[in-house]
Copies of this chain bind each other. A is one copy, B any other.
Amino acid sequence: MALYESMFGTYNVSCAQVLVTDSDFSNHASLKQFKATIESCLELGVVPIVNENDVISIRTTPLRDENDRIFWDNDSLACFAAAQLNVDAAFLLTDVEGLYDAPPDAPHSQVIHTYTRQADITFGAKSRVGRGGMQAKVAAAYAGIDNGVKAVVIASGYQRNTVLRLMKGHVIGTLFVRNPAPDIDSITERQAHAARDASRALQAVSSDTRTAILKLIAERLVENTDSILAANAKDVRIATASNMDSNLCARLKLTASKIATLADGIRGIAEDTEPIGRVVRQTQVADSLSLEQVTVPIGVLLIIFESRPDALPQIAALALRSGNGLLLKGGKEAQHSNALLHSIIVRAITDASNGTVPKEVVGLVNSRQAVSSLLKLDDCIDLVIPRGSGTLVKFIQTNTRIPVLGHADGICHLFVNHDADAKVAARVAVDAKTDYPAACNALETMLLHRSLVDDGRADSIISALKTAGVHMYGDDEACRRYHLKRVSSFRQEYGNLGMTVAIVRDVKEAVAHINKFGSGHTDSILSTDAEDVRFFLQQVDSACVFHNASTRFADGFRFGLGAEVGISTGKIHARGPVGVDGLVTTKWILQSSSHNGDIVSEFSNGDRKYLHISSKL
């Protein structure tokens, strides 16, 4: 009690000791008095510390030995009191993180998040301190929920802020409720852990095996063309029936030639340079100490993509090539296609690796709820790549602590400099805007150098764009000059044939405009003025900067990366189109050849010297 008092005292909270015995509760009047006491304490803001009155207790058995036993240890006492007081939840704090599916110290044991009576648990030895043990706690928890406590949680008392975190709804410890819902958190967590373990197995196999997996996937995709098209036809039928946008339908629909191209792409990725184990830096730290920085897989990737089902095998190929585990969430509209493609891929993995790489290395996630649940697993998933609308990307960036690679917006610019040829400008602008207006690398804003406007050269660019069906919105001057509607924001991403036109004084103003209103995706200059081009390419702070080329070239395939998992506008890690190279990280390996082992104190006391002979490779 002194300890409780002093610890609660640091928060200026008083507490009161309440001692009871089992027999006190057989008496209805004393039970009533007990409840009244606790309630009074709580009303006064005093925390009651309930304990068994050991001085007069006559029980000797630690476990419930008769059916009419009301409590048999502190946990059952707590749950009994909780039931009497109609509380919402009781927390049983112990020395482990919850109830495990195997002995807690075993490397692969997992905390069970929601306990069901069917759970297959073998209880270990009793706790080292006091009565109880885990089996008794489970019995206490059930006594609680059977008598009306809404939820009981068994959690660790050694972790910080357990109670606060439980109150906030964090998934920690083991929850007992009357009718447990299917535990999505638990299922997805298991799937993520399985992907991580499988990724370690994938990393352990030879480069040849990983190449063989990719080649077999390519082969099987072609072999199974008919069944893939049949599954895809189901998706297309449902989409058509629900009046899906025809552009989206076109993206959804697979053809035999799309599958053949896809297989070719995967063979290309298979034959590319081995991305893992590349030494990027080598340093002789001291005579006996050699250091290497080598590329290694990132770990487990969660990739969320929409409509286009051919993205699934592409992404899987990039992840497998780079030794990563993968969790994929595809669009609901492509579910039949995705399910079949996934099953073909995992079968190929098992077959090509003779079962050494578990099929869980590529997992398919089926619900949005599962995605929310995966976004919490920052200890297991290393990178999230959302491919989809800006809203989706922003939602994910805001709702996870896992690093996110991608881009929310694609506000690409074309700056037509004073010396640009109007015909070339029209040709590039029309391509950049109209080739595929919904793409993230499509042109959104054309910046015209004032001199082109003043001497009328820009007129033909504007009219070529009008002829190509582009609807232009202008800044004040462009509106006046070309009879355009006024643009409401320079940060507009149209995604259709809409386009902003603004007039700038020089390359400096163009660069300032792009850095202020752009999204750091892709921006291009049309010019032959070497100094202006150099300034533009250096000072525009975007992932891709182009000279005399359409913004539509910003793409993993066009860049020669084989395929891309996405395009990143972030500054950290991979930037621009992300291929295999963006899916690896590095690890530092320090090896000593000394028979005595190497220690730092020999260097800090001056006995030995660092050499630091480095070669960056």
Contact with B along A360-404 (1 / 0, CB 8 A): 000000000000000000000011000000000000011001010
Chain A contacts with B in 524-563, Cβ cutoff 8 A: 526, 537-539, 541-550, 552-554, 558-560
- Whether B200 pairs with A541 at a CB distance below 8 angstroms is yes
Residue of B at shortest CB range from A504? Answer: B107
Interface residue A255 (Cβ < 8 Å from any Cβ of B): no
User: Whole-angstrom distance between the alpha carbons of A315 and B283 in the complex?
Assistant: 22
Please encode chain A, from 574 to 617, with 1 for each CB lying within 8 Å of some chain B CB and 0 for all others: 01110001000111111111111111110110000010101010
Chain B positions within 8 Å of A571 at CB level:
298-299, 382-383, 403, 585
Within 8 A of B (CB), among A201-243: 203-204
Copies in the complex: 2
Taking CB atoms, residues of chain B closer than 8 Å to A558 are: 285, 600, 603, 610
CB distance from A561 to the nearest CB of B (A): 9
Q: Can you name the residue of chain B whose Cβ is closest to the Cβ of A200?
A: B539
* Nearest B-chain residue to A562, judged by Cβ: B612
Interface presence of A331 (CB below 8 A): no
**A351 proximal to B (CB < 8 A):** no
Asked if A453 CB lies within 8 Å of chain B CBs, one says: no
Is B553 a contact of A600 with CB atoms below 8 Å? yes
- Specify which chain B residues have a CB less than 8 angstroms from the CB of A281 in the assembled complex: 581
Given A383-B572, A573-B572, A610-B558, residue A435 in contact with residue B544 (CB < 8 A): no
**A545 and B285 contacting across the interface, CB-CB below 8 Å:** no
Q: Which of A108, A291, A293, A587 has the most chain B CB atoms inside 10 A of its CB?
A: A587
Confirm or deny: A512 has a beta carbon within 8 angstroms of a beta carbon on chain B: yes
Complex interface: chain B residues within 8 A of A526 (CB):
597
Residue A427 at the B interface, CB < 8 A?
A: yes
Interface residue? A486 (CB, 8 A): yes
- A543 and B587 contact, CB distance less than 8 A: yes
CB distance from A109 to the nearest CB of B (A): 9
Contact A486 B572 (CB under 8 A): no
Asked if A549 contacts B427 (CB within 8 A), the reply is: no
Q: Give every chain B residue within 8 A of A591 (Cβ-Cβ).
A: 537, 546-549
Asked if B549 and A592 make an inter-chain contact with CB atoms under 8 angstroms apart, the answer reads: yes
Tell whether, in the assembled complex, residue A204 and residue B539 are in contact, meaning their CB atoms are under 8 Å apart. Answer: yes
Shortest Cβ distance from A560 into B: residue: B612
Nearest chain B CB to A611 CB, angstrom units: 8
Is there an interface contact between A516 and B107, defined as CB atoms closer than 8 Å? yes
Chain B residue nearest to A540 (CB atoms) is B587
* Closest residue on chain B to residue A616 by CB atoms: B273
Whether A435 lies near B600 (C-beta < 8 A) is yes
Bound complex: CA of A585 vs CA of B432, how far in Å? Answer: 26
Check if A570 is an interface residue, CB within 8 A of chain B.
Answer: yes
The answer to whether residues A588 and B576 also contact, given A204-B539, A597-B428 and a CB cut-off of 8 A, is yes
Which chain B positions have C-beta within 8 A of A512?
Answer: 107-108
A4 within 8 A of B: no
- Is there contact, CB below 8 Å, between A594 and B560? no
Separation of A299 and B585 alpha carbons in the complex (Å): 21
Q: Report Cα–Cα, A298/B520, bound state, in Å.
A: 12
A95 on interface, CB distance cutoff 8 Å:
yes
CB neighbours (8 Å) of A577 from chain B are 588
Q: Which residue on B lies nearest to A571, using beta carbons?
A: B382
Would A554 and B428 be within 8 Å (CB), given that A107-B509, A572-B572, A597-B549 are in contact? no
| Set of chain B residues within 8 Å of A593, measured between Cβ atoms | 548
In the complex, A30 has a CB within 8 A of chain B: no
A66 in the interface (beta carbon within 8 A): no
Known A548-B598, A572-B298; contact A204-B435, beta-carbon cutoff 8 A = no
- CB of A49 within 8 A of chain B? no
Structural contact, B382 and A592, CB atoms closer than 8 A = no
Query: Taking the complex as formed, is A475 at the interface, i.e. its CB lies under 8 A from any CB of chain B?
Result: yes
How distant is the Cα of A289 from the Cα of B524 in the complex, in angstroms?
Answer: 13
Q: Does the CB pair B382–A203 fall under 8 Å?
A: no
Kindly report which residue of chain B lies nearest to residue A517, judged by CB atoms: B107
Nearest chain B CB to A11 CB, angstrom units: 18
Q: A549-B590, A571-B299, A597-B424 are in contact. Are A285 and B543 (CB under 8 A)?
A: no
Q: Does A27 contact B (CB under 8 A)?
A: no
Q: Which of A105, A432, A549, A593 has the most CB of B within 10 A?
A: A549
A–B complex contacts, Cβ < 8 Å, 11 sampled: A107-B515, A285-B558, A403-B570, A424-B596, A431-B601, A435-B601, A546-B589, A549-B597, A550-B599, A572-B572, A576-B588
Q: Knowing that A105-B490, A107-B516, A428-B597 are A-B contacts, what are 13 other residue pairs whose CB atoms are under 8 Å apart, sorted by A's residue number?
A: A108-B512, A128-B486, A299-B571, A382-B572, A398-B401, A405-B572, A431-B600, A435-B599, A545-B588, A548-B598, A549-B598, A552-B599, A575-B586
| Residues of A in contact with B (beta carbons under 8 Å apart) | 95, 105, 107-108, 128, 158, 200, 203-204, 273, 281, 283, 285, 289, 291, 293, 298-299, 382-383, 397-398, 401, 403, 405, 421, 424-425, 427-428, 431-432, 435, 475-476, 486, 488-490, 509, 512-513, 515-516, 526, 537-539, 541-550, 552-554, 558-560, 570-573, 575-577, 581, 585-601, 603-604, 610, 612, 614, 616
